[in-house]
Amino acid sequence: MNIVAVAVTDYIGIILLIALLINSRFKRVDQQLDMKIFSNIAFLTLISCFVDFISFYADGNPGNAWRIINIMANSFCFFANPVFVFSWCLYEDYKLYHSIYRLRKIYNLASIPAVIMIILVFVNLFYPIIFYVTEDNVYHRLPLSYVYYLIDTVYLLFSYIVIAKYEKKYGKVRFFPLYLFLGPITLGCALQLIFFGVSLIWVSLAVGITAIYMSIQNESAYLDTLTGLYNRAYLYYKLDFTGKFKDPKLGGIMVDVDYFKQINDTYGHSTGDKALTDVAKILNNNKPDNATAIRFAGDEFILLAYDTSIEELENIKIRMTRAVEFFNSQNRRPYKLSLSMGCSTYDSENESLDAFLKHMDNNMYEAKRIRHEELEKRS
């Protein structure tokens, strides 16, 4: 074991991740779930790079204290291992679909292998089944330790399948080059598995995380800073991309917040901003997987859906209306939310994309007119 080489590799990982976390601190302020998960992954990897060096440094040093440090440091690394790969899958899925419902539906079950691996780490403290440290403080792997590499591989393959299915259905993900993440990790894991005493896993994870973070920085130009949804620039990018395909089966729902000016005038702009973020969360958390939530302008939003029909769009409108009613009943806001929605499907042979947006807009204003007339009659 070359402790200097271990120190250098772990040092590189630590510096990369400190720079990443410092650079991303402003993005964490908006409390978006994907950024929370990503930051936690980066922080976990940063700590693991440091603990990894401690485990190598402690190995072989005489004394019971060093032996305890050796055991605890290696236990932490085996604990962090499944936490990392499972968290990566969560991050990737939410980054693609922005759906908490989907996370709950899929990843409660998908978490079982990771949970088992974590439990085994604690069992190993009393009954060595993963690794053991001799009385003279020398670390040794046991056959079960290789299962962790297998579990890592399964989770990373699962993440590849998720993104492959997404791209097959919705087109290439422009800001998420998965190979930049998987490449360094795959190589690092393979080398560490083959060569005992080499420390490459955590620095490889640091390189992969940093590469992904650098690649997705371009996406920030397409995000609305208040709500965290995609903005109008992203809408036009997607429409331009979609317009190159024949019969794309594209549909959309224009969403307008009723009486938003009244909320602003009565409670102030900060409360108005809160209302907009509430609407954004409702749309994002209740949309189907094939839809993208976009803040179009001011208090107007668009749900852009692929491979859809007018019937499915109407069902989405019903779902959103119920979600708003549930929100109003469960939250003590000084305002009550109400949405007017108009939907349309894109007829690529007979209309332009601008006409498609105009059609949605007209249908939304017609829905708003009817709603207001009904409210006036009741009053």
For residue 342, the cross-strand partners are: 254
Fold match between 3-222 and 232-378?
A: no
The average pLDDT across 283-307 equals 90
For residue 133, the model assigns a pLDDT of 94
pLDDT tens digits along 229-267: 889 988 888 888 776 666 567 899 999 999 898 999 898
Q: What is the mean pLDDT of the chain?
A: 86
Helix (H) or strand (E) holding 255: strand 250-257
**Percent residues over pLDDT 70 in the chain:** 91
pTM of the model: 0.65
CA–CA separation, 277 and 255 (whole Å): 14
Check pLDDT > 70 for residue 132: yes
Check pLDDT > 50 for residue 66: yes
pLDDT tens digits along 144-189: 998 998 998 899 899 989 988 887 776 667 677 777 778 787 777 7
In three-state secondary structure terms, 45 is: helix
Question: How deeply is 122 buried, as exposed, middle or buried, from its count of CB atoms within 10 A (0-12, 13-18, 19+)?
Answer: exposed
**Domain ranges in the chain?**
3-222, 232-378
Classify 3-222 by CATH class: mainly alpha
Between 367 and 279, whose confidence is greater? 279
Check pLDDT > 50 for residue 29: no
Three-state SS sequence of 150-217:
HHHHHHHHHHHHHHHHHHHHHCCCCCCCHHHHHHHHHHHHHHHHHCCCCCCHHHHHHHHHHHHHHHHH
Task: Mean pLDDT check: name the lowest of 108-112, 114-118, 172-176, 199-203.
Answer: 172-176
Helix (H) or strand (E) holding 14: helix 3-23
Strands 291-297 and 250-257: unpaired
What are the b/e assignments for 288-313, b being 16+ CB within 10 Å? Answer: bbbbbbbbbeebbbbbbbbebeeebb
The average pLDDT across 48-75 equals 93
Between 21 and 280, whose confidence is greater? 280
For residue 182, the model assigns a pLDDT of 80
**Percent residues over pLDDT 90 in the chain:** 44
197 pLDDT tier (thresholds 50, 70, 90): low
Between 216 and 298, whose confidence is greater? 298
For residue 133, the cross-strand partners are: 139
Classify 232-378 by CATH class: alpha beta
The average pLDDT across 106-122 equals 95
For residue 28, the model assigns a pLDDT of 47
Amino acid making up residue 375: L
The average pLDDT across 103-120 equals 94
